[in-house]
Structure 1
Amino acid sequence: MAEPNTVELAKQRCKAIMDIIQTLPSSTNISVSCTQTLHKLALRELNFLSRCSSSSSAPLSLNIGHLEAIVHILQHPSVTGISRVCKPIPSSSSSQAVYVDIICTLNRNPVWVIVSDRKPRYISWYKGHRSKGLKSRLEEVIDAARSLHALEPCSIILFFSHGLDQFILERLRDEFKATEFHFNFSDFDFAFSEIDGDWINVLPRSYEEACVLEIKVNDRNCGVTSSNYNSKVCSSGVDEPEILNNNTEIDFGDSFCSVVMAMKPNPMNGIEDMESANFEKLLGGDSDLINFDTTALIALVSGISNGCAAKLLSIPENELRQKYKSNYDFVIGQAMSEIKKPILVELSSLLSGKRGIICQSAHSEFKELITMCGGPNEKSRANHLLKHIMVVLDMVSKRMTCLPTTRKLALKNKVVFGTGDYWNAPTLTANMSFVRAVSQTGMSLFTFEHRPRALTGD
């Protein structure tokens, strides 16, 4: 088969990148709008190439390389919470918007990513006739990053696919304190396209020459303590239900116990309270934290998750409808989902080796729900679970407090997710409506989604 010419090869690259966009890892939590934006850009490039003559020898100005580099970054295993791609961001300190290629969470920190696929000789430092200049552009981006508090990143990542010349590299280090960022990712990308029944490699992209730099924007230790809550850290679990005798041996079940015991122990067991300063020292820098919202706690202790799904489905429909009323379909759907794919098995690998935390607001809400709706077994599991999870102050990150409080961005959710954000901890949640609402603001939020479960009175 003849070697495809430049135009045909570029078309194949467009089609290949469109396939990759549709199969980005679920761990990226990329929003639908971001996927659509990337697809539109690839399709626009493909349409442009379709209008070009295959026999033309004139040089082509292609954007597909830039898009390939962006998608390469999006496939990084530490990239998640992708909330914005290839769109301008309005600046509160300037009338002009700034262009950022990616807003996401990288290594648990919110970042902005600027991507360049230009050859080093075409990257200019100062303003020119046709170029704004890298220095001027970075000044605008950093200014916007520091003025947009809700979207404020910890750092700006610069990804130069083909490297940089020494002069610009030194200027970035001297004037912007840029440091080398160890991306720790494959230097190659491969994708395949089918032509005349044969699969050919059309994306042998190499990033061996890539230069990746980081410019710090702020210190992530910036949060506010909600004035509605105590200044002490609470470490106790829910009160043990009166119907349980202290000497009663409780069988929590193998799955539940294995999930709880696989987590790091709560170092505050036996401590009634602790000054927040000591607490900062205890948790600061812990990269294994995971924040639970109320939906996650309920999913762990629910009877549906702990062996009652089949029993529930065996109960006559009229009894179930009388008990669960308008929630009947919701509960039955969860029971069927549990039989097909047990949630504790799914969460076991996610929580293994992690130190669980919950904020005081989530702790209070969970206790209230368990008291009102939980059965004796669910209450005992809740009590056992909370002994293994640290209850922390409602410490809301600065950027979360800058989001407006609306019906979709409810204050109580901002407190729970904002506390996880303050500690650089992902939040385990089934509340995806809130996650989507945050993403629509452009903010990147580090979360893990789980399937919802309800309390059944078990």
Structure 2
Amino acid sequence: MCKSELKYLQTLRNSPATEVCGNHFKSSNLGHFAGCVHAAYNAPGVVQILSPFSMEGRTENLVVDVVANQGHTWVKVIARKAQALHLIWAGRGQFGERDLVRQAKDYLRCSSYHPVNFQKPHVHFAFYNQVTHPMASCLEGLGISVSGERVEVDEATANQISLACISSDEDSQGSSSSSESDDDSLEEDCESVHCEVFQPKKQPSVKHSGGPSSDKEPPSTSLQSKKDFIFRDMDLVKSLVSSMPSFDCLSEDLCKDDCSSSSSVIDKVNLDITSLITLVSSVTNGGCHFDFSEKVLAMQASEERREPVLPKLKKFLQGKKMYVCQTALDDFRSILDTLGGPGEKKRAEDLLSRVTIVEDDPSDRTKDMPYSLKIRDRSKVIFGTGDKLQAVTVTANSSFVRAAQHQGVSFAVHLHPSRALTEEKEKNAIPLSRDN
């Protein structure tokens, strides 16, 4: 995306008929991209950038600029100037421009469709060219956290809004407005702070040293030299944004959630077939020092020798109530009866004595997922039952998780490497020394 913007700006640079100035940069998308890069480096626990999310009633995906806090926070980067945003919010924008309150509602509604560990992601708006106090208060009233330099509404902006209100009042005398029923109206969203929108507050002019002025003359007066000067010496980030928001509040919020919110603690897990096999397999319980003739088993044994799966998996399961649905149990027992060795069968009986068996009961959103090569009915039942229980599904089936995400369904999962039952295969395998 950045390369596409830069390619366009390079065409301006190389065009003898066009005089390049700082406004060409400021009117491009580079300001937004600069904010995305800054947020990606400074927000805690970033896992995705410019990530699309679907939601019911919207044909196009909502693109979240930065997904932080391991998925628990959605960050929207706003690089437009505060006064321009305030005018749009007050209804003085160009036709088709949507104010931030409506965009905020989209974010909040979409986040409810994509819970992380059954919690709706928190929405954070990061302003890179300031935000007015009334607009910040309005967004916070909706439940959105805000970072960025806060400023008052300047006199010019307030005058434009006041003149528009006077004109609107004259035009609407004797008529009733039909917009009162619009649930996206500014009055409904921000009734407590709306009155501040129209109050002119004189502010001293403040000059920001974010970047060079477009009228600054380079050493050479030739047009090409001026272009080279701008492209070479302009610090893009500082020239495109006037303030850098702090993301410290996101780290503090995550700490509070982890330490004090009981709802954020994972206390239930749903074991699928792959996790049941991994827990009882011989290869994860000391039987990894074999050179198996089967390529897949040899690879799993090699991986297990380098990095054992079981210690991390047991640590995650410790203190949690374990569930297994009937379909997962039946298929696991069928595989165990066919391929399992004596030690694996004994470990399986011990494991199953400590889990709670539940009937198949997949959630509605799982049942509605279309069948495909990677979204099979068996996986829908197992993952869907965990979804209905609000239990994190422990699995090695990452292909189903990815396929479900492409369908707009995000499951709460704990992924681990895949392991097979190997005890019976040890008879024909070559033993290795413990040093290998």
TM norm. shorter chain > 0.5:
yes
Aligned ranges for residues 182-197 of structure 1 at < 5 Å? none
Aligned ranges for residues 31-430 of structure 1 at < 5 Å? 41-51=1-11, 53=13, 56-59=20-23, 60-61=25-26, 62-70=28-36, 85=50, 87=52, 89=54, 93=57, 97=60, 99-101=62-64, 114-124=76-86, 125-127=89-91, 128-129=93-94, 131-139=97-105, 154=120, 157-162=123-128, 164-173=131-140, 177-180=142-145, 206-208=244-246, 286-311=265-290, 313=292, 317=293, 328-348=294-314, 351=316, 353=318, 355=320, 357-360=322-325, 361-392=327-358, 394-430=360-396
Q: Which amino acid aligns with 1:58?
A: G
Match in the other structure for 2:409: 443
Report deviation, 1:295: 0.7
5+ residue gaps, structure 1? 1-40, 183-200, 213-282, 318-327
CA offsets, 1:191-241, max 9 Å, x none? Answer: xxxxxxxxxx998994328998xxxxxxxxxxxxxxxxxxxxxxxxxxxxx
TM-score normalised to the size of structure 2?
0.56
Match in the other structure for 1:433: 399
Q: Which amino acid aligns with 2:299?
A: G
- Give yes or no for contact 1:159–1:211 (8 Å, CA) kept in 2: no
More strand by share: 1
Report deviation, 1:345: 4.1
Report deviation, 1:381: 1.5
Match in the other structure for 2:155: none
Report deviation, 1:365: 2.5
Q: Report the Cα distance in structure 2 between the residues aligned to 1:406 and 1:120, rounded to whole angstroms.
A: 47
- Give yes or no for contact 1:103–1:442 (8 Å, CA) kept in 2: no
Higher Cα radius of gyration: 2
Report deviation, 1:412: 1.8
TM-score normalised to the size of structure 1?
0.54
Identify which of structures 1 and 2 has the higher relative contact order when contacts are C-alpha pairs closer than 8 Å and 6+ apart: 1
Secondary structure in structure 1 of the residue aligned to 2:123: strand
Q: Which amino acid aligns with 1:298?
A: I
Report deviation, 1:378: 0.5
Report deviation, 1:415: 2.4
Q: Report the Cα distance in structure 2 between the residues aligned to 1:348 and 1:390, rounded to whole angstroms.
A: 17
- Give yes or no for contact 1:394–1:415 (8 Å, CA) kept in 2: yes
Secondary structure in structure 2 of the residue aligned to 1:100: strand
Matched residues, number: 308
Task: Quickly say closer, same or farther: Cα 1:102–1:353, change in 2 above 3 A.
Answer: farther
Match in the other structure for 2:205: none
More helix by share: 2
CA offsets, 1:61-104, max 9 Å, x none? Answer: 25345335445666766565x5x935585x7546x636432596
- Give yes or no for contact 2:393–2:413 (8 Å, CA) kept in 1: yes
Task: Quickly say closer, same or farther: Cα 1:293–1:117, change in 2 above 3 A.
Answer: farther
Task: Give the percent of matched residue pairs that are identical in Structure 1 and Structure 2.
Answer: 26
5+ residue gaps, structure 2? 148-234, 251-261, 425-436
Secondary structure in structure 1 of the residue aligned to 2:131: coil
Q: Report the Cα distance in structure 1 between the residues aligned to 2:263 and 2:329, rounded to whole angstroms.
A: 21
- Give yes or no for contact 1:304–1:456 (8 Å, CA) kept in 2: yes
